[in-house]
Amino acid sequence: MRGLAHLPASKSEANRALILHALAGGGQLSNLSDAHDTQLMQALLAAAPGTDQLSAEDAGTVMRFLTAYLAVTGWRGELTGTPRMQERPIGVLVGALRQAGADIAYEANDGYPPLRLGGFAPGTAVAGPTCLSVRGDISSQYISALLMVGPYLPGGLELTLTGAVGSRPYIAMTVTLMARFGALCRTNADATQLTVAAGRYQAADYTVESDWSAASYWYALVALGPVGSEIMLPGLRRHSLQGDQAIAGIMAHFGVETTYLPAEQGVQLRQGPRLGGPEILRLDFTDCPDLAQTVAVVATALSLPVDMTGLESLRIKETDRIAALQTELAKFGGDLQEVEPGVFRAVSTGFRVAGQTVATYHDHRMAMAFAPLAMRGPLAVAAPQVVRKSYPQFWSELAGAGFMAGEAG
């Protein structure tokens, strides 16, 4: 396999930039993705002033970022989502926003969407910033949502993260993008206390980088492909804001070499020798949980056992991704065993690709993580359209690379 693949823009960057752009009231955003989550965020931000009912569908960043944005801008109405979204917790974010002055009620089950927003009435006699405290091991999207509306709280925001802090690169991405739009955000030495100055964002232009999460599937294709496989991925940066750039170091263990091209033109992937190391490799996905499915599939397909930690957030994604991985890997002769609390070992015995059908569970990453197995044999993918959430052109890009996974009937 040789060639060039086009990646979507990062929806993590894009959805943050869209919120900041809306609060700033101006500037030009470039390279926005046609991924459904990004298109949905744009549409809902545009529709909010003229409606009292919005649906975030199945998009986690949209639901969480919009909850904070709509709260501080005083929007009144119902914010809902798909049945699966109504099973994904949002109580930590709502509780913090209520403390800051937001009127938010639960329409059905406490702690879960749909939400009824009734305006914003912050205290008027606040000395210093609004002080909030949340757990650091929750979804970083809650933390990012609070940080982005921080300048609009009385006196700004002082946010304290308690306990272990996960997904730090996503928090750092938020802080960096806020600075691009003129916000002042200071952090202490261990980044457990973040202070956002009161004020207003400034209109700014920003070009969104290509998506390292999407790049992970091409890393998998090169790792599983024939000897000498290589692919060029334009639009990726060496100095990226995205935590999923970690895939470059992770996939070196599985024999994929990464070369950064001059002038931030992208990267060249090439199949090379696998890195030596312990009999069972140990990888922590605390800061890059969206890479876990890709790595589990590659590890089992290559019969290279890996102990995986930092997977706690996978239980509350589009599906329970740990359970989904266990079910689908078993079809090929792989497994994801919890060998000790919080440690999952990806292993295989007699791994074989021979026409199996992969269920996708309404989860775009299940479809794309298993698709590279087509390098090892025929398989079918159920509900392949789920990739529209983040990488609508995925299947056409695969076809351009010379192969295609079949759609299950």
What pLDDT is stored for residue 406 in this prediction? Answer: 56
For residue 79, is it within any domain? yes
Say if residues 48 and 76 touch (Cβ distance below 8 Å).
Answer: no
Q: Does a structural domain hold residue 400? A: no
Q: Say if residue 51 is in the same domain as residue 179.
A: yes
DSSP of 74-132:
T-EEEEE--TTGGGS--HHHHHHHHHHTEEEEESSSTTSS-EEEEEE---SS--SSEEE
Helix (H) or strand (E) holding 158: strand 157-162
Q: DSSP 3-state assignment of 55? A: strand
Q: Residue 134 in 3-state DSSP?
A: strand
Which structural domain range is residue 194 located in? Answer: 11-198
Q: What is the pLDDT of residue 407?
A: 58
Give yes or no: residues 279 and 382 share one domain: yes
**Do 31 and 158 have their domain in common?**
yes
Torsion sign, CA atoms 188, 193, 197, 203:
positive
SS (H, E, C) 31-50: CCCCCHHHHHHHHHHHHHHH
Shared domain for 137 and 261, answered yes or no, is no
Q: Considering the domain boundaries, does residue 204 fall inside one?
A: no
24 and 103 part of one domain: yes
Instruction: Compute the distance between CA of residue 281 and CA of residue 252 in angstroms, rounded to an integer.
Output: 12
pTM more than 0.75: yes
Same domain, 217 and 145: no
> Is residue 5 situated within a structural domain?
no
Is 206 a member of any domain? Answer: no
Q: Which active-site residues does the annotation give? A: 290
Question: Are 131 and 193 found together in one domain?
Answer: yes
**Residue 3: inside a domain, yes or no?**
no
Residues 249 and 181 in one domain: no
Where is 296: in which H helix or E strand?
helix 292-301
Say whether both 249 and 341 belong to one domain.
yes
From first to last of the 409 residues of the chain, give the pLDDT tens digit.
788 999 999 999 999 999 999 999 989 999 998 889 999 999 999 999 999 999 999 999 999 999 999 999 999 999 999 999 999 999 999 999 999 999 999 999 999 999 999 999 886 545 678 999 999 888 889 999 999 999 999 899 999 999 888 788 999 999 999 999 999 999 998 889 999 999 999 999 999 999 999 999 999 999 999 989 999 999 999 999 999 999 999 999 999 999 999 867 899 999 998 876 778 999 999 889 999 999 999 999 999 999 999 998 888 778 899 999 999 999 999 999 999 999 999 999 899 999 999 999 999 999 999 999 999 999 999 999 999 989 999 999 998 877 655 555 4
- Report the CATH number at residue 223: 3.65.10.10
Between vectors from CA 74 to CA 72 and to CA 77, what angle results, nearest 5°? 120
Coil, helix or strand at residue 379: strand
Residues 127 and 258 occupy one common structural domain: no
The rounded distance, in Å, linking the Cα atoms of 385 and 363 is: 10
Match 């590279």 to its residue by tokens: 372
Q: Is residue 193, in this structure, part of any structural domain at all?
A: yes
Based on the domain organization, do 247 and 350 belong to the same domain?
Answer: yes
Phi then psi for 113, rounded to 5 degrees? Answer: -60, 160
Q: In total, how many domains does the chain have?
A: 2
Let me know whether 191 and 225 are in one domain.
Answer: no
397 falls within a domain: no
Residues 124/154, Cβ–Cβ less than 8 Å:
yes
